[in-house]
Structure 1
């Protein structure tokens, strides 16, 4: 195997996912369950904040910003077609006006993952600045923890959905001409 033209030691053909319709369906259902857990976590925290919480700290729009970023990142990442990422872009580059579909898909994928990472990092920052630095006890601290759980579940959901969407069905055929 000639490694002179590769950036990494392993090429993409060695990392193919197994072909199984059941594995793909399980991945999609697991991704939905993770997203539901994350969404339920932030909704539960907001309802607790407005109805049961006895302190002055409540869930505000600042707590929702990481959730919005993570959800937007998940939508962006999972709406990109995998075949656009692996097109051969060595023949033409972006400046020459050639095939820029692969380049644009990679940039958009990067922006989607950046939104996911920013959402998770933002939930940690909200937790630290709003809850930990002010030394709140745990019923109130739980609202910040649920924000972190929400964004972590959404990020895991995105990863599981991305992997399960890229599992090829054993009966799928390429109809491209």
Structure 2
């Protein structure tokens, strides 16, 4: 292999995985993070209903940030990424490109709103009322962990969907 065939000037001590492995790994990591996210929220809800030592209980208000984040993830990952770039040769963005960008912004807004809402619930429901003991405060922390995990899951899925296949060709002139 001569120097023009290499990606780096120096040799790496390992081989980079193929794009199909990276794509599959990203999808599996995304699914695991999404499952872990709702496991934390369901665990907190079950704990609040079964243990009588807790004064505060998980209500529908605690579920709203997770629902917003899940809807945001659904919107963001369902956008076709080829629609986000301007395909028109005239220089102006086409109507489809503009609509895709607006919908993508709405999805990211739902993700950010869900994360911010989980922090608001943690602060307003648990910290400001003085529930500093772990089992009760842990229900609010579980809500934040849920939304952070959903956001990381969305990022992982977005990146793994953006990886091109080894057999895809760009025929743009």
- Please report the TM-score for the alignment, with normalisation by the length of structure 2: 0.83
Aligned to 1:152: 148
Q: CA deviation at 1:32?
A: 0.5
Aligned to 2:159: 163
Distance 1:53 1:123, change over 3 A: farther
Aligned to 2:53: 54
1:130 to 125, 129, 154: 125
CA contact (8 A) 2:54 2:135 kept: no
Q: CA deviation at 1:162?
A: 0.3
Q: CA deviation at 1:169?
A: 0.9
Segments of structure 2 that go 5 or more residues without pairing to the other structure are: 1-16
Segments of structure 1 that go 5 or more residues without pairing to the other structure are: 1-17
- In structure 2, distance between residues paired with 1:150 and 1:91: 44
Aligned to 1:10: none
State the aligned residue count: 154
Aligned to 1:13: none
Aligned to 1:109: 104
Aligned to 1:34: 33
- Please report the TM-score for the alignment, with normalisation by the length of structure 1: 0.81
1:141 to 120, 129, 137: 137
Distance 1:53 1:113, change over 3 A: farther
Q: CA deviation at 1:100?
A: 0.3
CA contact (8 A) 2:55 2:136 kept: no
Question: In terms of Rg, which structure is larger?
Answer: 2
CA contact (8 A) 1:30 1:160 kept: yes
Instruction: Give the aligned CA root-mean-square deviation in angstroms.
Output: 1.9
